[in-house]
């Protein structure tokens, strides 16, 4: 059967696959569009399985927000080049919207959620793997629902933040989200820092104390250690940090002025926690040539 350009065009529009892949699928299936789609899906799954064990530490943080609800999804690729690909960008935006509408709580649950186009997120991922030729993974999902005031911010597609405020307004919430993206606080306030951390800091401060300071009265030593620990806790806590949008005040001061408080926040960055493989191509060539 003759495979026409119109048939290839229709299959491309319905499947999203490349022109040559569509032509091959139609040839294999005697021009049957539906059978060709199924054939392409099977090919995509096979390719996805082959690439699944390759490290994917690049990618993008995608945001979807609807009033008081918001989600951030981390979608990983092997290279930054693919992370900027139009198909990857469309897929990540679709995944974020699906996460928001489906109510999925984590990436595993998100896999089976159906996108607005019909296929599930996992099926879409397999299609994308077949199209871009790299391992692609939907790695993480964080969400904030029913926030009194929701702030969201994504920096360069690499860092995403959601923050829920009680009081204040959308402008303040976004400013706090931008601050969290820049400064990466670990806790909302010093009082939220675990007692184990504080005890360890005290132990370290004692060990670092000079012989001269150790000769001082115990109450003086305690005050010195307490001051040092307070400084550390402020550095790792959101409310104790200088506000990036106005460094003359702390975040805590800015919140107090607006009669607001932070209820919770999420911050995720692309690839954090993934061990990246650094390729030494010169060493690899020498090894293959028996010179190393």
Nearest to 138 by CA among 111, 104, 102: 111
Between helix 5-15 and helix 33-51 the angle, nearest 10°, is 50
Nearest to 177 by CA among 163, 165, 166: 163
- Cβ-in-10-Å burial (0-12, 13-18, 19+) of 76 comes to buried
* Sheet with 69-77, side-by-side order of all strands: 58-66, 69-77, 137-144
Asked if residues 242 and 231 have their Cβ atoms less than 8 Å apart, the reply is no
CA distance 70 to 161: 10
pLDDT at 161: 98
Nearest to 112 by CA among 77, 138, 142: 138
H helices present in 16-162, as ranges: 19-28, 33-51, 80-83, 86-102, 107-110, 121-132
Give the dihedral of Cα atoms 17, 22, 24, 29; nearest 10 deg: 120
pLDDT at 213: 79
Cβ within 8 Å of residue 280, ≥6 positions away: none
CA distance 136 to 48: 8
Side-chain-side CA neighbours of 86 within 13 Å: the count stands at 1
CA distance 204 to 92: 44
Q: How far is CA 32 from the centre of its chain?
A: 40
pLDDT at 46: 43
Neighbours of 12 (CB within 10 A): 15
Structural domains present in the chain:
5-51 (1.10.8.10), 52-146 (3.30.479.20)
Asked if residues 92 and 127 have their Cβ atoms less than 8 Å apart, the reply is no
Q: Is the dihedral of CA 55, 136, 121, 25 positive or negative?
A: negative
Q: Which parts of the chain have pLDDT scores under 70?
A: 15-17, 41-56, 275-292
pLDDT at 276: 63
CA distance 89 to 80: 12
Nearest to 79 by CA among 273, 284, 271: 271
pLDDT at 16: 63
E runs forming strands in the chain: 58-66, 69-77, 137-144, 149-155, 159-166, 242-243, 246-250, 261-269
Cα angle at 120 between 115 and 125, to 5 degrees?
100
């Amino acid at each position: 059967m003759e495979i026409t350009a119109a048939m290839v065009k229709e299959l491309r529009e319905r499947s999203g696959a490349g022109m040559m892949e569509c032509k091959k699928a139609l040839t294999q299936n005697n021009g049957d569009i539906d059978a060709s789609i199924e054939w392409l899906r099977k090919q995509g799954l096979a390719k996805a399985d082959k690439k699944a064990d390759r490290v994917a530490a690049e990618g993008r943080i995608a945001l979807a927000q609807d009033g008081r609800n918001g989600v951030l999804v981390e979608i990983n690729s092997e290279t930054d080049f693919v992370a900027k690909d139009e198909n990857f960008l469309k897929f990540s935006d679709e995944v974020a919207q699906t996460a928001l509408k489906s109510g999925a709580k984590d990436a595993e649950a998100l896999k089976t959620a159906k996108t607005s186009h019909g296929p599930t997120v996992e099926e879409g991922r397999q299609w994308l793997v077949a199209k871009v030729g790299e391992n692609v993974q939907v790695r993480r999902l964080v969400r904030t629902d029913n926030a009194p005031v929701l702030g969201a911010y994504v920096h360069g597609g690499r860092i995403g933040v959601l923050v829920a405020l009680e009081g204040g307004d959308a402008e303040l919430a976004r400013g706090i989200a931008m601050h969290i993206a820049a400064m990466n606080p670990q806790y909302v306030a010093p009082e939220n820092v675990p007692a184990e951390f504080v005890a360890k800091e005290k132990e370290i401060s004692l060990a670092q104390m000079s012989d001269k300071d150790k000769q001082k009265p115990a109450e003086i030593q305690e005050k010195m250690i307490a001051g040092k620990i307070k400084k550390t806790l402020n550095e790792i806590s959101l409310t104790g940090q200088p506000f990036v949008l106005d460094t003359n005040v702390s975040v805590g001061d800015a919140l107090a002025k607006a009669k607001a408080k932070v209820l919770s926040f999420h911050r995720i960055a692309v690839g954090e926690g993934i061990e990246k493989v650094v390729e030494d191509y010169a060493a690899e060539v020498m090894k293959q040539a028996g010179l190393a």
